[in-house]
Amino acid sequence: MRYAIRRSEDALIIVDVQRDFCSGGALPVPEGEKIIPTLNRYIKKFSEAGALIIATRDWHPPNHVSFVKYGGPWPPHCVQGTPGAEFHPDLKLPRNIKIVSKATSADKEAYSGFNGTGLGAELRKAGIRRVFVGGLATDYCVKSTVLDALSLGFETVLLLDAIKGVNVNPGDSEKAINEMLKRGARKAVIDDFQSCHSS
């Protein structure tokens, strides 16, 4: 399928491409940084079309419930104001990027960019009808963001060449992709957007 980016109705959502989720970080997604060049191509296309671009980030307090010390499954990561919480330096975010911080309360986990952030209401207010989602990690925050977008009524497209998974259990990412598609997400790769800009 070919996609023409509609300036007034489409948004690109880049999920959690932060230092701690890339090589050398506190909770690295295997080869997570390898999707960055492709994400930059998407950013360029959406920027050229004048479409909305959003970047979500984990923005945890130091005592977050997801950390092992406080009963969660993960090592401390993406703690507010630390280098690990910064976006990866190779990610070419535009100056007018909208940043959405999630999981900011110590006692609440939030994998989805829509969970407790008000993002859904903001997108509706902006007239957005379709979202394109890429980032980290396929089997956690990307999946949760895609499923929430679908449940909120947005047409949702998963960018298959711009996601990477953790795969705590073998095949987790494949299962996550299948679940997203089964729930109604569409799929795309960068070549589906070639020379497809419109207002």
Catalytic entry in 58, 78, 102, 143: 102
Catalytic entry in 22, 141, 143, 148: 141
Q: Is 37 left (phi over 0), alpha (psi -120 to 50) or beta?
A: alpha
Query: Which of 15, 53, 49 minimizes the C-alpha distance to 35?
Result: 15
> Which residue do the tokens 């993406």 mark?
78
Query: Does 22 participate in catalysis according to the annotation?
Result: no
Joined together, the tokens standing for residue 190 give 């960068």
The DSSP element (H or E) to which 149 belongs, if any, is helix 143-151
Query: Does 45 participate in catalysis according to the annotation?
Result: no
Task: Using DSSP bridges, classify how beta strands 130-136 and 10-15 pair: parallel, antiparallel or unpaired.
Answer: parallel
Burial of 181 (0-12, 13-18, 19+ CB in 10 A): middle
Helices (H), 34-193: 36-49, 119-125, 143-151, 172-182
Sign for the CA dihedral angle at 161, 187, 119, 127 comes to: positive
Catalytic entry in 16, 20, 139, 148: 16
Query: Does 107 participate in catalysis according to the annotation?
Result: no
Joined together, the tokens standing for residue 50 give 């004048």
Active-site residue set: 16, 102, 141
